[in-house]
Every structure is written in structure tokens, then in C-alpha cells.
Amino acid sequence: MHKRARTGLAAAAATTAVLAAGVTAAPAAQAAEDGPAPVRNRVLVVIAEFKDAQHVDTEALRQDAAKEYFDGPQSIAGYYTKVSQGAFTYVPAAEEKVVGPYTLDLPQKPCDAGAVNKAAREAAAAAGYVEKEDYDSISVLQPGEGSECGWLGLGSMPGPNTWLQVGKGKIGKTAMVHEFGHNQGFNHHKRDECPGGDLSRCTTAEGHSGRTPMGGGGTGVGFVAPELIGKGWLPGGQAVTVTKSATFTLKPLYGGAAGGVRALDIPLGDGGKDRLVVEYRTEDPTYTDDDEGNLDAEVEGVHAYLVPEGDYNNSRLLDPTPGEGKGDAEAITSLTDAANKVGVKVVKSGGGSATVSVSLGGVPAPAADESSVKPQGTDTPAPQPVKGTGGPATEHGDESDAAAAPGSSSASPAPADHTEMGGSGKKDLAATGGSSATPVIAGVGALLAAAGALCLFAMRRRGGRRRA
């Protein structure tokens, strides 16, 4: 039986350790000044086994999980502390960081993520862990060997539930970043091809954006500006709503000196229901991963995203170069929306900043030296609250995405553009995943909403980064 009083102490100590280990403390202080106190989500990491399936080495798994979830700046906790500028992080709900193994009163087959979640919560409750009192989220590590599940990871969107199938005592941070992104409410991130930057010619493209972990970018990239805006992770005027023609100097979305404008939120049309978000990305040497190198090392230039109906969690990259590109190939030099009389021009890009002019209503933008740093009439776009536990992330667009009832099998074919468990890797979404299992989760004492079906994006080559 755990000691509940120790949980808060462990959480606070873990957060302190994350910041002290290399994720700078300054952003956390900035977040505290500009908004609510940093959010610390307490994750109960559970090693789960079945009556007929066990992990190869639970002790090795325990050590690896503690490292990948919580220990140091390269952990999930460190990554989310970095990308949120200290506004959000994950901390262990248990003093020992990882609990179990708990043997669930279930067979491994058929694949039933809902039943696994319910049984794991019941096992945790029997050990003394009470949801909301002791933990905010639960992450279940289950054996992958011999499984019928067509996925390596699942995450409710939004919600408190993640599942990972693991083998040989190892789990992947790439999968974890993506699944926890779904918990934040982030959908899969795709792209439109807009030849020459003409928005009237945009068509839906195959594949994913590669600009965010939600679009096949892996852990080598940060989240895109629309995702950060939706969470309120660009505080202190770093994201501005453009209401009149102006020219802006953009600082890098990640890294660089504190403050400054990092993203432009541009309304399209009189109602402004759709939005256009513009950001500048470049390599950030202040955050380094041993496997992926510096954050955004392969992302350079000014990038733009369509935000349909103001839904920042469902933005799409606007790619002016048809076909798959690498590095800065998808960066924009100009965008034109003749119907809404909106124009965007990149005057200069590189060397740690970008100069971008925005014309609204057909009014030309003034030169850079005629615009103030924050032109009159701009303000910070409001965050997009995400509450409760959401339903599944649609993969097929048909009944195959429907949530399974609690206790029933939820196995179904892997979605398009994703690779099934054990399948051959693709360039954008490789052999780490693919899933359309979307169970409704039955929690302790109450029915929880459905878990989002996940595609797992690229598990990028160790030692050699490549664009997803």
C-alpha cells in the first residue's frame, strides 16, 4: 500500500529535478508571471501483465520507463516543460515513479484496450491509488510480444489515458510524445499543397506535415504554433492577432532571446472564423536530445498553417511546394488569399529572425521601420480550452472508427497511411504503429469517454534523422 502523503512530495521533487537537469527555469518563471501557475499532471505509470503474457524483464522496463517519462530534460516531462515554456509538465504520481507489475485478470487476446484500462485502474485502486486524489493520468505499459493489437500506442483525445505496447524492457519516447499530445487534445497533423502560395489552389495532400510530433516529426521537432496557441503556451504577447496591415519581426518559435513576437494569428474573411497562423522556425541549440540532436534541427524558415473554423488543434500545414520536401522546402516566401484580400510576404528569413509583412483588406503593409514591434490593434489570441475526455480521433471516416463498448474487442484494421504492428516501415509513419482501436473506457465507478485511435508516426532512425 502506498503512502498517499508522499505523492505530492514526489511530484514537486520531480518537477524541480526536471528544471534543474537542463530545462531552463526562466521560462517557468515567465509562465508564472504571465498566467496561471504551471500545471503539473501526475501520471501513474503502470506495468501491466496478463494471465497468459508477461514482460521479458520488468526491472529493466521499470528503469527505462522512469528515465523516459520523468528523468532529466530528455524525458517526456522535460520535453513538455520545454515546449510549453514551463507552463506544463508531467510528474510521477508514485514515489517509486513506476508501479507494478500488476497481473490483470485478463488474457492478452483479443486486443481490448478498454478492458485493459479498466483492469489497470482497478489494480491501482487495490494498491491504494485513487484517481484524482493520487493521480491525474494513467499510462499502461503492456507486453507487445504475441499481441493482436494493431498499434504500439493509444491515447485518449483529450483525456487521461495512454497505452504503450513494449518489448525487451524498452519503450520509445517518440511514441510517448505523440500519445500524450493526443491527451492534450491535438489531432493528427496533415498538410495541404498550395502551389506558389496561392490559397485558392490548395488541395489535400498525402502524408503528414513533419512539423510536429502529431504529424510524423518525432521528438526532433516542437509542436507547431497553432497547437501552442490553443494551449496558451505562447504567453506575454508572443502570439499576436493581426487586425491591420503591418510588418513584423518574428523570433524563433523555440529558443532565442526571451520575449518578442513568435507567431501571427491572421483572420481570414470578415468573420475571421478561419485563421492563418504564421511562425518562424530554426534550430534551437538550447534543447538537445541524444538521439535526435537539437530541437528543430531540420526545420528552417517561415511556415504557415490553416486553422479551419478557429480549431487550433486541427490545423494543417500550407505547403507551397508540391511533393515531399526536406528541411526548409516547405517554408513559404509569400501567400495570397485573393478572396479574403489577405497577403503574406516574407521580407527576410534567417539568422535567428524573420521579417514578415501582412496585408489585410488589400491595404499594403508598411515597411518594417514604419511598423512598431506590436502594431496598434493586435492582441494575444485566446487559448482554446479542452475539457473532459473526448471521443476517438477519426482515421477512416466511417463506422470502423466507432468506439467499442466496454469489455468488447476493439481490434480493427490499421488506418490508411499507417503501418500495422510488425509491418514494414513507411517514410512518414513507420513500423512503430498504426491503430484504429478506439475503445470507450470504463473507469472505476463511472464510464469514461472513448480513447482516441492513434496513428503512431515515424520512429525515426536512431543516429540519423530524416523528415517524416
Local confidence band at 49 (pLDDT 50, 70, 90 cut-offs): very high
> Is the pLDDT score of 11 beyond 60?
no
Neighbours of 341 (CB within 10 A): 15
Is the pLDDT confidence value at 457 over 90? no
Determine the pLDDT at residue 382: 79
Report pLDDT for 6: 41
Contact 7, 95 (CB under 8 A): yes
Q: What is the reported pLDDT for 410?
A: 31
Q: Tell me what pLDDT residue 386 has.
A: 72
Confidence of residue 137 (pLDDT cuts 50, 70, 90): very high
pLDDT for the residue numbered 387 = 63
What's the pLDDT score for residue 286?
A: 94
For residue 214, count CB atoms less than 10 angstroms from its CB and return exposed for 0-12, middle for 13-18, buried for 19 or more: buried
Q: Who has greater pLDDT, 62 or 462?
A: 62
Torsion on CA atoms 205, 206, 211, 214, rounded to nearest 10: 120
Q: State residue 325's pLDDT score.
A: 53
Name the grid cell of 330. 516547405
Per-residue confidence band for 35, with pLDDT thresholds at 50, 70 and 90: low
> 3-state class of 374 per DSSP?
coil
- pLDDT at residue 328 in the model: 58
Provide the grid cell at 284: 534551437
pLDDT confidence bin for 112, thresholds 50/70/90: very high
Residue 72 near residue 18, CB atoms below 8 Å: yes
Which range is least confidently modeled, 171-185, 396-410, 449-463?
Answer: 396-410
Q: Are residues 257 and 373 in contact, defined by beta-carbon separation less than 8 angstroms?
A: no
Cell numbers at 150, concatenated: 494493431
Residue 381 has what pLDDT? 83
Residue 159 has pLDDT above 60, yes or no: yes
Inter-residue contact 114 to 442 (CB < 8 Å):
yes
Q: What is the pLDDT of residue 370?
A: 53
Q: Are strands 153-155 and 190-193 parallel, antiparallel or unpaired?
A: unpaired
- Residue 4 pLDDT greater than 80, yes or no: no
Query: Are 155 and 183 a contacting pair, CB within 8 Å?
Result: yes
Count of CA atoms in the C-beta half-sphere (13 A) of 372 = 8
Q: Using DSSP, state whether 214 is helix, strand or coil.
A: helix
In this model, does residue 265 exceed pLDDT 70? yes
pLDDT for position 443? 32
Bridge-based pairing of strands 161-166 and 137-143 is parallel
- The highest-confidence range among 221-235, 326-340, 360-374, 418-432, by mean pLDDT, is 221-235
310 pLDDT higher than 70: yes
Which of the pair, 189 or 1, is modelled with greater confidence? 189
Which cell numbers in the block locate residue 455?
496513428
67: Cβ–Cβ under 8 A, 6 or more apart, which residues?
75
Look-up of cell digits 503591418:
246
Cα 400 to Cα 396: distance, rounded to the nearest angstrom: 7
* pLDDT (mean) for 131-154: 94
Identify the CA nearest to 298 among candidates 205, 219, 191, 207.
219
Give me the mean pLDDT over the 395-412 stretch.
29
The three three-digit cell numbers of residue 246, written as one number = 503591418
Asked whether residue 434 carries a pLDDT value surpassing 60, the answer given is: no
Q: What is the mean pLDDT of residues 173-201?
A: 94
Query: Does 416 have pLDDT greater than 60?
Result: no
Which residue is listed with cell 497577403? 343
- Please give the pLDDT value at position 332: 96
Residue 128 C-alpha cell reads as 491504494
Average of per-residue pLDDT across 334-357: 96
Beta strands in 308-412 (DSSP E): 316-319, 334-337, 342-350, 353-360
Residues 192, 303: Cα–Cα separation, whole Å = 12
Q: What's the chain's Rg over C-alpha atoms?
A: 22
Containing 277, the helix (H) or strand (E) segment is strand 274-281
Look at the block and give the residue holding cell 485493459: 116
DSSP 7: H
Q: Give the mean pLDDT of 212-238.
A: 95
- Distance, CA of 21 to CA of 157 (rounded, Å): 30
pLDDT (tens digit per residue) in 77-110: 999 999 999 999 999 999 999 999 999 999 999 9
d(CA 162, CA 45): 9
pTM for this model (two decimals) = 0.80
The pLDDT mean for the chain works out to 77
Residues facing 379 on adjacent strands: 241
Residue 190 binned pLDDT confidence (cut-offs 50, 70, 90): very high
Residue type, 207: G
**What ranges do the domains of the chain cover?**
5-185+387-450, 190-370
Strand order of the sheet with strand 263-268? 203-208, 190-193, 316-319, 301-307, 274-281, 263-268, 239-241
Residue 220, pLDDT score: 93
pLDDT of residue 417: 28
Identify which of 233, 221, 117, 131 has the alpha carbon closest to the alpha carbon of residue 177: 221
